[in-house]
Chain A
Amino acid sequence: MTAQLGKTETPSGPLPAKKSNGKPGRPKSKYNRREALAGYLFISPWIIGFLVFTAGAMIYSLVISFSRYNLATNVATPIGFANYESLFTDPRIGVSLGNTLFYATLAVPLEIAFALVLALLLNKVGTGAGIFRTVFYLPKMTPTVATAAVFFLLLNGNTGAINQGLRFFGIEGPQWLVDPDWVKPSIVIMTLWTVSGTMVIFLAALKNVPRDLYEVASIDGAGPVRQFFSITLPMISSSMFFNVLVLSIAAFQVFDQAYLLFWRDQSNASPEASLFYAVYLFQQAFRQFNFGFAAAMAWLLFVIIMVITLIQARFGNRFVYYEGDR
């Protein structure tokens, strides 16, 4: 027993115990068997979940994507690459990908800019910052269904409050939910209303920028604009990178808003323009029960998201300043 206790006092885990790292005379094996076993037991829920719901499901998904799945008999008949070939022949794949890409390119920069402006304002304000932050954050707490139920009416081309407001300034607003050109901006408006999650991440980063940098810069005569581009932006670049990545991935999987505003029932006035990739995938899987084709679609989405991540990681590494890098 005592011998074992002696062992546990040696650095046996990743927790901070740096002081003894260099000590000679460790136990012969790198691992304490009892401890290793306990470790596996603690992580076993995740291992089981991973094997069934992630790894197992991924393999199964791959198999299904090469099959025609019969839901009644639960039999997957191999059909080779047919589902992947359909990805190229089905025109709605191209349409939905185009829509999704268009939405992402519109939404992500606007979300980043808006969130950053809000965070900068909050960072500037002393008194009342907490109240404003709470107000800005409330939309994020609102369930998407409730947001959609309200914006469904606010965006109404004839009676909606948004067009009524525009009319006040003499602008005749578009038919947001009907005109194919304005379908995606509608969803962007809804998304911008709930941008505060991104804002909070920026705000945390802004609060971490050392103030002496600004002091030195002011002494050197740098104005606020110069300070923003030379100090603030580089110092928050890692959270900028994170936000762009997360928002892009989310934009590529946009579903709830599109479903609630357009695909809930048969009344969709612009089925072409509002067909997002995740919506089409959902329809193929759980309305048409084309499991094979839908699985192939899911793998294409997987590849697209991987590519986006890799490009942004490559790109990001060049511009992101990490503290500690010299």
Chain B
Amino acid sequence: MSSSISTPITQAQPAAAAAIEPDAVKKLPPKKARSNDDNFHRPRSPITRVILYVLLIGFSALFMYPFLWLLAASLKPKGQVFDNLLIPRTFMPENYVEVWNQLPLLNWMFNSVAIALLAATAVAISSSLVAFGFAYFKFPGRKILFALVIGTMMLPGAVTMIPVYLIWKEIGLLGTWAPLFAANLFGSAFYIFLQRQFFLGLPRELFEAARIDGASYWGLFWRIAMPLSIPSFVIVFLFEFQASWNNLQSALIYLNAGGVEDFTAPLGIAYAMTRYSPTAGGQGDYQYVMVASLIVTLPMLILFAFGQRYFIEGIASQGRKG
């Protein structure tokens, strides 16, 4: 599975480091001899091309519709939220002001941002450390231990859910942020795998040259491996940030018993859905749920706007591990 990466560079100058850096993200996909340019599969006949674009635009409409619907609904007054019009009859931009009074949305956003930052930073750093250990050093049991790392990816979370809950209960940290990020301090299997693949792609001569220059093992990691692996570090960070932002179940387990203002964004929206849901005998002000949903989605869209290639590359590399 690592055959896809290595493109050994012959010269051992540390200067080679600079040469790899710029398109290091592109180093992740296999650099096999292939000459697929983007236009190869383009249909020749104009009719097929029209059909192709009609299909693509049709699917785009299907994918965009819920977003447009959400945007429209968030701008409607109470009675019109369910009318399915993409342009509101009555515009209520006040919803975007009122929602902060209706729901402790600011607290939820703050909690979610803080937890996601802690979770993503912790897992990116710890996974890099572990990955470097597996990629660079030779020690007894390395292969078995790495197989164990991969093996833990198969383990359904449900198996450890209860004991882990009891561990946090025993330490007295139920209701705090710790259960939502602290396990990330110990690395996570898929990210370790991803970072290790990246480290294996770095020319070993780079490290040997640095050793001769007197660099410590820590120096190899911190001054050479880490700066070069920033692209895959970013992938790990963004993936975990998104995963944490999306994490409903842990919040349900650990924060649901606490006060509403201590909720994370997903738990908060779930709460708001029930509170305003017309079917549950709620107050029916579902427009606030729409506004809140949109606000909670925005950070992810911004993240995607800046980090699109990392997300796409990260997903594509999952397929490559098989």
Contact indicator A125/B42 (Cβ below 8 Å): yes
Task: Give the Cβ gap from A59 to chain B, nearest Cβ, in Å.
Answer: 8
Give the chain A neighbours of B67 by CB distance below 8 A.
Answer: 138, 142
Pick from B13-21, B30-38, B96-104, B226-234 the stretch touching chain A: B30-38
Of the candidates A5, A56, A201, A281, the one whose C-beta lies within 8 Å of that of B163 is A56
Contact indicator B138/A138 (Cβ below 8 Å): no
Chain B residue, CB-CB nearest to A320: B322
Contact indicator A123/B138 (Cβ below 8 Å): no
Give the chain B neighbours of A181 by CB distance below 8 A.
Answer: none
Known: A17-B205, A150-B73, A197-B315. 18 other contacts (CB 8 A): A15-B200, A16-B8, A40-B139, A132-B60, A135-B60, A143-B266, A145-B273, A146-B269, A161-B84, A193-B63, A204-B320, A208-B36, A241-B322, A245-B322, A260-B270, A285-B161, A286-B165, A297-B158
Bound CA–CA A295/B42 (angstroms): 53
What is the 8 Å Cβ interface bit string for chain B, positions 39-53, against chain A (1 contact, 0 not)?
111110000000011
Give the chain B neighbours of A309 by CB distance below 8 A.
Answer: 154
Q: Is the interface of B mostly helix, strand, loop or mixed?
A: helix
Contact indicator B279/A121 (Cβ below 8 Å): no
What is the 8 Å Cβ interface bit string for chain B, positions 160-184, against chain A (1 contact, 0 not)?
1111111101100000000000010
Given the known inter-chain contacts A31-B140, A264-B270, A298-B161, please indicate yes or no for A49 contacting B32, CB distance below 8 A. no
Q: CB of B316 within 8 A of chain A?
A: yes
Give the chain B neighbours of A203 by CB distance below 8 A.
Answer: 316
Chain A residue, CB-CB nearest to B290: A149
Chain A residue, CB-CB nearest to B137: A39
Contact indicator A259/B318 (Cβ below 8 Å): no
Contact indicator A132/B56 (Cβ below 8 Å): yes
Give the chain B neighbours of A47 by CB distance below 8 A.
Answer: 145
Give the chain B neighbours of A164 by CB distance below 8 A.
Answer: 84
Task: Give the Cβ gap from A252 to chain B, nearest Cβ, in Å.
Answer: 8
Could you jot down 9 A-B contacts, CB within 8 Å? Answer: A14-B142, A50-B148, A54-B160, A57-B163, A58-B160, A124-B43, A125-B53, A137-B311, A207-B36
Bound CA–CA A144/B273 (angstroms): 13
Q: CB of B106 within 8 A of chain A?
A: no
Give the chain B neighbours of A133 by CB distance below 8 A.
Answer: 312
Given the known inter-chain contacts A15-B136, A153-B82, A201-B318, please indicate yes or no for A54 contacting B152, CB distance below 8 A. yes
Given the known inter-chain contacts A124-B42, A126-B38, A143-B246, please indicate yes or no for A39 contacting B162, CB distance below 8 A. no
Give the chain B neighbours of A41 by CB distance below 8 A.
Answer: 133
Bound CA–CA A61/B204 (angstroms): 42
Report which B residues bind A (CB closer than 8 A).
3, 6, 8, 29-30, 32, 34-36, 38-43, 52-53, 55-56, 59-60, 62-67, 69-70, 73, 81-84, 126, 129-130, 132-140, 142, 145, 148-149, 152, 154-167, 169-170, 183, 185-187, 192, 199-200, 202-205, 207-208, 211-212, 217, 221, 242, 245-246, 248-249, 252-253, 265-266, 269-270, 273-274, 277, 279-281, 286, 289-290, 293-294, 296-297, 300-301, 303-304, 308, 311-312, 315-316, 318-322
Give the chain B neighbours of A123 by CB distance below 8 A.
Answer: 41
Give the chain B neighbours of A17 by CB distance below 8 A.
Answer: 204-205
Chain B residue, CB-CB nearest to A129: B38
Give the chain B neighbours of A84 by CB distance below 8 A.
Answer: none
Given the known inter-chain contacts A74-B170, A259-B248, please indicate yes or no for A143 contacting B296, CB distance below 8 A. yes
Pick from A86-94, A95-103, A105-113, A299-307 the stretch touching chain B: A299-307
Chain A residue, CB-CB nearest to B276: A149
Contact indicator A49/B304 (Cβ below 8 Å): no
Contact indicator B319/A204 (Cβ below 8 Å): yes
